[in-house]
Amino acid sequence: MNKKISITIAALALALMSTAAAQPPAAEPEHSIPTPATAKHHVVFQLTEAEGPAWGTVIRHTNNMRKAFEKDGGSQVEIVFFGQGIKMLLKTNKEYEERLKKLADDGVILAACQNAMKAMKLTTEDLFPFATQVDSGVAEVARKQEAGWAYIH
């Protein structure tokens, strides 16, 4: 009797495995956002400049690079804002809000340096809600470089 039960269980397990193997894999969304685990390219930008040409340039370079890497394994990008550059993430900065939100929605990490925030007496409430925070902008860039990320200054 035990032999019949064992054979039945084995046959059932085999049937389940062959059914699962016959299922096509789930298709990935056409425009999926690469994660650190799936992206081929990992890039960290730093922005330390006060308002000026660098602000538009970092957005343009990020978009151009991400587009170029779409066909080559995708990219994971983080922009670290410290020094005077942190002002780009302030809620009062309406000129760049829409473009920065689009980057964040597309998976780009916009990281505010907490040291710069303290020095300028800024709080989380002063920043766009889509910004993240890191303990130290310089340390964040160093961590990314140590992890093999390309560094764009």
List phi, psi (to 5°) of 93.
-85, 70
The structure's pTM equals 0.76
Of 20, 70, 82, the residue nearest 45 (C-alpha): 82
Which domains occur in the chain, in start order?
33-152 (3.40.1260.10)
At residue 2, the pLDDT reads: 54
Give Cβ neighbours of residue 105 (< 8 Å, ≥ 6 apart).
Answer: 130
At residue 87, the pLDDT reads: 97
pLDDT tens, the chain, 153 aa long: 555 544 444 444 444 444 444 444 434 334 445 555 688 999 999 999 999 999 999 999 999 999 999 888 899 999 999 999 999 999 999 999 999 999 999 999 999 999 999 999 999 999 999 999 999 999 999 999 999 999 998
Cβ proximity of 150 and 41 under 8 Å:
yes
At residue 90, the pLDDT reads: 98
Cβ proximity of 120 and 92 under 8 Å:
no
